[in-house]
A and B are shown apart, each in its own frame.
Chain A
Amino acid sequence: MNVAMPDLTVDRVTVRFGGLVAVDDVSLHAPAGTITGLIGPNGAGKTTTFNACTGLVSASSGSVRLGEESLNHRGPATRASRGLGRTFQRMELFDSMTVKENVALGPESLFSSRHPWGQLFSPRRETRNIEERARAAMELCEIAELSRRIAGDLSTGQRRLVELARAVASPFRFLLLDEPSSGLDVHETERFGEILVAFVAETGMGILLVEHDMSLVSSVCSTIYVLDFGRLIFYGSTAETLASDVVQAAYLGSEGTGGDHAHVAGSAHA
């Protein structure tokens, strides 16, 4: 571990779109140095929770803290510059650029906001730093051989790795990964999990992981939070979560889970 990394704390966050409550009073705590899972069926509010954390949508109430610092009322760029990075469920790559340019533009974006004229001039020291970070991130994510390829021409699985490498290359202090294994085959997913574990062990950084692939979640996450219909319905260790009737019911869509919400969410908050 190089430097002390912060925890991410989401405290009673609610997000409304007009009359629709997309995220309802959700709290979670993702410690540094671990991978925390956030799971739930499609439409459960996982990505909206990420968007509220990173400032892409405004939370109606609640707070988001990175370590001791509140990120409330700050835009996406400011939250990123405070150290909160993310990947996207619908990948947001720079499609016309090469893989190397994509990965390098991650840290370069962050450096560009450090002083008013940072977008016009890049000091040589920063340029070397960016190149080194990009090289290391591509090696970690095993995409170095793709460095000259145009990102828009890659397969979905390769694009996922490029997006991860870009986030890893940036000097973030906490990462939110939104379905990073989508599009990867079984072998790639397994390897992807190993990369994540190694990265966390090396940097001490915390990761909050939204993922549908339960084999990946169960192999890398220490704690799992479960959302359904925008509400937190369960949290616990991986084994507890997989064994939970409430979680099974939510995923299988059976009747009667709604009545348990208050009880389980209440225990989650406790």
Chain B
Amino acid sequence: MWGVPSVNDLGPVIVTGISDGAVYAICALGLVLTYKTSGVFNFAHGAVAAASAYVFYQFRDRDHMPWGLAAVLALLVVGVIGGLLLERMSYALAEAPTVMRVVATVGLLVGLDSLLTAIYGASTIAFKNFLPQSPTRVGGVNIAASDFITLALAIVATVGLYLFFKRSRLGVAMQAVVDDPDLLSMQGISPVVVRRLAWTIGSCFASVSGMLLAPEIGINVSYLILLIIVAYGAAAIGLFSNLPLTFAGGIIIGVGINVLGQELSGSHSIAILSLAPNLPFLVLFAVMLFVPSRLLIEQGVRRVRRLRPMPTFKPQTVGVSMAGFALLAIIVPLVAPAYDINDYTAGLAFAVLFMSLALLTWTSGQISLCQMAFAAVGASTFGHALAAGFPWLLALLVAGLIAMPMGALVAIPAIRLSGIYLAIATFGFGILVERLFFTSFLMFGNQYAIRTPRPHLLGLNLTGDKGYYYVTLSLTALCCVLVLLVRRSRLGRLLRGLADSPTALAAHGANTTITRVFVFCISAFLAGIGGALLAGVTQSGSEATYDFSVSLAMIAVLAFCWRLPILSPFIAAFLYQVLQVYPFFRDATVLKYDGVAFGILAIGVAVWPGLGSIRSSGRAQERDQRGSPVLARSAPVHREKVLT
């Protein structure tokens, strides 16, 4: 669509790249705008774009409206109304901790993905061009009219936004609203109006990019979400705040993908061939690894309140509950239908995966959106080790150990960055691993799967469903013990301290770099074990099982299962994996919309302080008491009082 390849040179490829890059730039500008003005990084930005493409398709192709009217309606429904709804959500998240902001937007992404798939199906819908395609010859290269239009749109959007921020009072106000809306209202500017405007513009940009991308790749929610994630790379070049750099980032990435794709097309190496499409993720990860952390300023954290501490229980209560729970788990295969046992076994494997995530997120306050990448490394290593003749238990241990260096690698951005940038880095890392390595010989290979047979242990044949269930149950229990040991150790106390106040921990002499490396390694170890156990359920680890979207769904589900280190992972695993064995939840409609329910619940927990997520901390009280330093400095009366 974007260019008309003609001669054997880079001209047409660059034109195509600029046009693609313009779409990425429009999308990234919307993302940066809303983040700058609200402090909420919208992981669902791509889902908003996809929703717009579907609404456009609905009005134009199904309801047979003229494309112009259909586009305006899509812009109105998704861009304007969607933007206003997102503003409400961001307002509710204004004082939420970073992890809850991530949970809310990831919940929205999971919910919208599920909703669009439920309504329109998972297969790609072909979508005809709507912009004029007539070519114009410029400097020996044919350029389609649609390319000019797209580029013009991106330039107008960038220049308009840049001037708006630099020159207009409202633009300046938009940047101030994230830090101190009360101060803004004292200047006679409504913070509500400012926020609504920002989110409406941001969502309209996402909406436009979704509509522009649809003819190129067809209408498919997963593809659209993934393609919009390319815009993250552009936003990273703009350091998530600079609009002209973000525009340049979009163009650079668009051109880079196309030129690299052309130049490397002759290679026989899958790794080299996959470099071009993965350029945005490489750029994103490089920015997170190498750009000085002082340039990546987290927006909107000045007013953040803390998570409400979880209640503590008496040891007797915990002991009795765990014994009852263990008894229940032991009798499951004896009472459940034989065809359901594998679902329960998968549930146990997911409990280990959720434990790995809970240790990171709830115990140490680190955010990971790439747990399934660790799990995939564990599963594939497990398969390779078994194929190499390792004893089953040793292969499982190796699976966990090999995942640990990956955890240490992810800990690098965790050491440098925190909060939202760590979430973005792990998100990009998860996708990068999936796209670069899943099909390589190191992992699942070009068959997309690897054999992971079940064990014979202590002379017992445990290859049956019941036998493997008990193997998994025993190993899950060992993982529980490991987590409890970690929590009760010095490391556990340091991790809890890290979650509450890394500054205080460092100021008292703890090396928080080592703490972060340890927790990521332990979490990766657990995820590797969980991934290997999961592969044993089907006796064939398949790359589809470890899709990055599962990592996102996991954090959404874990969010509404409380924040307890052991119980919450089991509840989350039950809801995510086991619930479907019960007749009501087997219903096709229920299965279709389960992601919607997960998304709504995650958003609910994140935005609703009454559900126990957010507390007014002593720090917030202190801030309220002290008032604004700006006001205090200009108040001589106050100075006189403190001196006398």
Contact = CB atoms under 8 A, between A and B. Distances in A.
A112 B494 CA distance: 9
A84 B623 CA distance: 26
B497 A119 contact: no
Interface in A97-118: 97, 101, 104-110, 112-113, 116, 118
A86 B507 contact: yes
Given A56-B503, A93-B504, A152-B615, A113 B509 contact: yes
A214 B509 contact: no
Contacts of A41: 633, 639
B644 A77 contact: no
Contacts of B496: 94, 96-97
A182 B632 CA distance: 15
B481 interface: no
Given A80-B508, A166-B508, A253-B636, A109 B494 contact: yes
Nearest to B616: A152
B636 A252 contact: yes
B130 interface: no
A155 B491 CA distance: 29
A214 B641 CA distance: 10
B510 A42 contact: no
A121 B621 CA distance: 37
A91 interface: yes
A214 B636 contact: no
Interface stretch (B25-33, B341-349, B400-408, B511-519): B511-519
Interface string A57-78: 0000000000000000001110
Interface string A163-198: 000100010000000000011000000000000000
A170 B508 contact: yes
A40 B106 CA distance: 46
B323 interface: no
A134 B506 CA distance: 18
A253 B623 CA distance: 24
Contact of A251 (B514, B622, B642): B642
B269 interface: no
Interface string B305-327: 01101100000000000000000
B622 A54 contact: no
B131 interface: no
Contacts of A113: 509-511
Given A93-B500, A94-B500, A213-B642, A76 B507 contact: yes
B626 interface: yes
B640 A251 contact: yes
Interface in A250-264: 251-253
B500 A108 contact: no
A72 B493 CA distance: 30
B307 A156 contact: no
B490 interface: yes
Nearest to A151: B618
B618 A91 contact: yes
9 contacts: A77-B512, A88-B504, A90-B623, A92-B504, A95-B500, A108-B494, A120-B489, A152-B309, A251-B639
Closest 6 CB pairs of A and B: A110-B509, A109-B510, A92-B504, A80-B509, A109-B508, A96-B309
Given A120-B490, A253-B636, 19 more contacts: A43-B633, A54-B507, A76-B503, A76-B506, A77-B511, A90-B622, A91-B622, A92-B501, A93-B500, A96-B306, A108-B494, A109-B509, A110-B510, A119-B518, A122-B489, A122-B490, A156-B618, A170-B508, A251-B640
